[in-house]
Amino acid sequence: MASDRYCIGCGYLLNRLSKNICPECGRWFDPDDASTFEAESVPFAWRRWARPPSNVHILLTFVFLVGCIVAQSEPGFPGGATLLAMPILAGVLVSDYLGRMVAVRLDRARARRDATEKRRTQRWRWAVAPLATIAVISGVMTRWPLQLRFHVSRTALEYAVDDFQAGQNGDTSKPRLVGLYRVDKLFARGEGNVGFRTSRRIRLDGRVQCAGFEFRPSSPPDEGRYRSLTPRWYVIEW
Ligand SMILES: [Zn+2]
């Protein structure tokens, strides 16, 4: 005795019908193809997974994207929670995305025969993850998030240079917000040069690693750890 069949579309009980059409919503089904109806005896069907990325998937993709862009906009490299959480989140999102793609492929034969299925495909949902991936990779390659955040903060940074040189910064080892950056220390680095430390981290080998910006109006230093941002401004790591 076969178990009861229920309509995928509306849940109507489909037993003892003369046609393979749901009398309630008009949806087609094939009594010999367990993927075209719901039944307690059918615990798995590709149809259930053959859907575009969900709202949760898209929301988490945005969380991932914003997290990466913020990390890329800092001088120096991300550490701690970001370094751990981002690859895990990326792994979950990629598995979910590829799983859906495989399910759509394996469900294609059924979906093609399913003449009554009128659900909109919402193709744009498939584009979110690839676009986020392109944004993250381009951020790694060109460091545009750093450039963007620096340029938005530049006026505030230059005001801080003027104040520092006039001795009006108060306690220069007190953390402060300069533009969009949290600066935990300002310091003189030779004649007319001002350093802004934005991160200080103790590495696994016990060494202290710092990163930040330097305002340097004189000739550019040719040390490897200076990277030019714009005339007179550098990203430094030490
Ligand atoms: Zn129905």
Cα 116 to averaged position of ligand 1 atoms, centre (Å): 10
- Helix H or strand E segment including 199: strand 194-202
Cα 21 to averaged position of ligand 1 atoms, centre (Å): 8
What was the pLDDT predicted at 119? Answer: 63
Confidence of residue 101 (pLDDT cuts 50, 70, 90): very high
Structure tokens at 216: 């340097």
End-of-domain residue from the set 126, 142, 158: 142
The residue ranges of DSSP E strands in 36-193, in sequence order, are 176-178, 181-183, 185-188
End-of-domain residue from the set 142, 162, 188: 142
78, pLDDT greater than 60: yes
Specify whether 68 is located in the same domain as 135.
Answer: yes
Cα 26 to averaged position of ligand 1 atoms, centre (Å): 6
Cα 119 to averaged position of ligand 1 atoms, centre (Å): 13
Cα 18 to averaged position of ligand 1 atoms, centre (Å): 15
Cα 1 to averaged position of ligand 1 atoms, centre (Å): 22
Interatomic CA distance for residues 118 and 27, integer angstroms: 9
Mean pLDDT in residue range 77-85: 75
Question: How many domains is the chain built from?
Answer: 3
What was the pLDDT predicted at 233? Answer: 94
Confidence of residue 107 (pLDDT cuts 50, 70, 90): confident
pLDDT in tens, 11-26: 889 988 888 888 888 8
Which residues contact residue 105 at a Cβ distance below 8 angstroms, ignoring those fewer than 6 apart? none
Cα 105 to averaged position of ligand 1 atoms, centre (Å): 24
Specify whether 161 is located in the same domain as 174.
Answer: yes
Cα 55 to averaged position of ligand 1 atoms, centre (Å): 25
Which residues contact residue 35 at a Cβ distance below 8 angstroms, ignoring those fewer than 6 apart? 42, 45, 46, 47, 107, 110
The residue ranges of DSSP E strands in 112-193, in sequence order, are 176-178, 181-183, 185-188
Mean pLDDT in residue range 156-160: 95
214, pLDDT greater than 90: yes
Specify whether 116 is located in the same domain as 186.
Answer: no
Specify whether 22 is located in the same domain as 74.
Answer: no
End-of-domain residue from the set 142, 159, 175: 142
Structure tokens at 120: 């909109």
Cα 6 to averaged position of ligand 1 atoms, centre (Å): 8
Q: The whole model's pTM is what?
A: 0.78
Structure tokens at 94: 């990629």
Structure tokens at 1: 């005795």
Cα 96 to averaged position of ligand 1 atoms, centre (Å): 29
Specify whether 233 is located in the same domain as 154.
Answer: yes
The residue segments making up the domain with residue 129 are 45-142
Specify whether 136 is located in the same domain as 53.
Answer: yes
